[in-house]
């Protein structure tokens, strides 16, 4: 399927459509030029099935199969901005690779990205998508990301793209001094939290209301 995918995109994925998306992100308060530039040059259509690729540059979450979604560009921009706002980051951990869209945005702004996904076919698809884009600074793991990825930590930042009811302790422990965790928390009502590590203390800020798929425990055998 990927072999048929066109990186540059034609027609509906034209530059004009992408510029419209950028305008929308700026209207909603995204101000980091670095983040906006990366979103502008990321071919979001390759992360979607053929039948949905004409909607790739709309600012909406869309289905990617297995009851999961590709994140809304605004939310990806907001989370990424929260992570890089106080300077460059080296090592980032992502929980919930999905199709790899957020991974690809982060991988262009960090030295290395470690990403964990519990649904094997999604992880395999993400690997193909990210290879097609030519990103090589990403390590993938199949498994339950609620415990982080201890062997690779500590991390300068952790992004969780699925919502737990409570923030897992292990993610906090795997943050570097000054490290940031961006995580949606809750069930029907979710809030996006930004946690910053200060020694043994964790400063917490609520960014805004969001809607993510739930963070589930355990990995699926496929
Ligand atoms: N980051 C993606 C969004 C993925 S949706 C994007 O940019 O579009 C959230 C993903 O989290 C789903 O693929 C889901 O399978 C995964 N997920 C849910 N619980 C998980 C867990 N405990 N460990 C790892 N991945 C998990």
CATH number of the domain encompassing residue 84: 3.40.50.150
How many distinct structural domains can be found in the chain?
1
- Give the pLDDT of residue 219: 64
Share of the chain above pLDDT 70, in %: 93
- Give the pLDDT of residue 14: 72
User: What domain range includes position 154?
Assistant: 62-210
| Range 98-113 average pLDDT | 98
- Is pLDDT of 200 > 50? yes
C-beta pairs of 213-216 under 8 Å, 24+ apart in sequence:
213/67, 213/68, 213/69, 213/96, 213/162, 213/163, 214/162, 214/163, 214/164, 214/187, 215/95, 215/96, 215/145, 215/146, 215/160, 215/162, 215/163, 215/164, 216/118, 216/162
71 is catalytic: yes
- Is pLDDT of 182 > 90? yes
Residue 98 in any domain: the answer is: yes
- Is pLDDT of 2 > 50? no
168 lines ligand 1 (CB under 6 A): no
Rounded distance from Cα 123 to ligand 1 centre (Å):
9
Ligand 1 pocket test, candidate residues 97, 124, 127, 222, most atoms within 8 A of CB: 97
Residue 197 in any domain: the answer is: yes
Residue 43 in any domain: the answer is: no
Q: Atom of ligand 1 at shortest distance to CA of 159? A: 1
Residue 168 in any domain: the answer is: yes
215 lines ligand 1 (CB under 6 A): yes
Per-residue pLDDT band at 3 (split at 50, 70, 90):
very low
Per-residue pLDDT tens digits for 39-58: 999 999 999 999 999 999 99
Residue 6 in any domain: the answer is: no
């Amino acid at each position: 399927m990927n072999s048929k995918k066109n990186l540059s995109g034609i027609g509906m994925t034209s530059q004009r459509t992408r510029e419209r998306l950028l305008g929308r992100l700026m209207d909603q308060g995204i101000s980091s030029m670095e983040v906006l530039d990366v979103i502008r040059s990321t071919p979001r259509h390759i992360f979607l099935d053929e039948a949905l690729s004409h909607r790739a540059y709309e600012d909406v979450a869309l289905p990617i199969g297995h009851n999961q979604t590709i994140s809304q560009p605004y939310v990806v921009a907001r989370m990424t901005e929260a992570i890089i706002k106080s300077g460059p980051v080296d090592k980032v951990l992502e929980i919930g690779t999905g199709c790899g869209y957020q991974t690809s945005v982060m991988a262009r702004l960090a030295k290395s990205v470690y990403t964990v996904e519990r649904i094997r076919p999604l992880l395999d698809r993400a690997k193909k998508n990210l290879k097609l884009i030519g990103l090589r600074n990403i390590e993938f793991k199949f498994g339950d990301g609620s415990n982080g990825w201890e062997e690779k930590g500590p991390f300068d930042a952790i992004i969780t793209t699925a919502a737990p009811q409570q923030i897992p302790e292990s993610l906090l422990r795997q943050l570097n001094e000054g490290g940031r965790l961006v995580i949606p928390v809750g069930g029907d009502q979710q809030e996006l939290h930004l946690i910053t590590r200060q020694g043994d203390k964790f400063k917490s800020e609520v960014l805004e209301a969001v809607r993510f798929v739930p963070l589930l425990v355990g990995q699926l055998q496929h």
